[in-house]
Structure formats: structure tokens, C-alpha cells
Amino acid sequence: SAEIRQNPNAIGYDGLGYVTPDQKVVAVARTAEGPYVAPSVETVNDGSYPIARPLYMYTNGQPKGVIKDYLDWILSEEGQRIVAELGFVPLVPE
């Protein structure tokens, strides 16, 4: 981050949960004509932010034991609340 800040021609890419107040966040577009969209939980969830991507968690077979406990917790209301509090994008209820 410090190296990027010191170079006026540098471009960095980071996840929403890692953005700090001293970083400049810019809107991006799929095409030069726009629309240019700033990253936010809302624009990621509504699909308008073009650089968002899903996150997958893979297990070796059906999860069990502490792995299942962790996955159940991260998908729980409490786990998703913490995800949001940390600045990451929580799951959208289906």
C-alpha cells in the first residue's frame, strides 16, 4: 500500500474489506461509455459493480467436525453480521 501511494502512476486492487480511509477508491465501468460504478456492498449485490466475483469454499467430501461447524457458523446470522462489520460483502438471502 505504501509503495502504491508513493507512485503517482500506480494502480492497486483490493477487496472491500481491506479498503482504508486513506485509500482513493475509484468507480469503474464495463465499457468506456459507462456507467462508472463505485464499489460498495450494494453495487456488488445488485451486480452493477463490474469487478465483483463470487467466493467459493471447497471441502474434501461432505464437511464434518470443525470444518462443518465453521461453515455453519460463517453462514449463520451471527457469522454474516461479522462479515458485514468487517467491511466484507455478506451473502444475500435467496
Residues 13-64: tens digit of each pLDDT: 888 888 888 888 999 999 999 999 999 999 999 999 999 988 899 999 999 9
Tell me, yes or no, whether 21 and 46 share the same domain.
yes
Q: What is the pLDDT of residue 94?
A: 61
Are the C-beta atoms of 44 and 16 separated by less than 8 Å? yes
- 19 lies in which domain range? 1-53
- Determine if the pTM surpasses 0.85: no
Counted residue by residue, the chain has a size of 94
Tell me, yes or no, whether 59 and 80 share the same domain.
yes
Model pLDDT for residues 73-89, shown as the tens digit of each residue: 999 999 999 999 998 99
Tell me, yes or no, whether 70 and 40 share the same domain.
no
Tell me, yes or no, whether 48 and 24 share the same domain.
yes
Helices 65-75 and 77-85 cross at an angle (nearest 10°) of: 70
Q: What is the pLDDT of residue 14?
A: 84
Q: What is the pLDDT of residue 22?
A: 82
The C-alpha cell 477508491 sits at 25
Number of domains, the chain: 2
Tell me, yes or no, whether 6 and 36 share the same domain.
yes
Tell me, yes or no, whether 5 and 48 share the same domain.
yes
Tell me, yes or no, whether 69 and 89 share the same domain.
yes
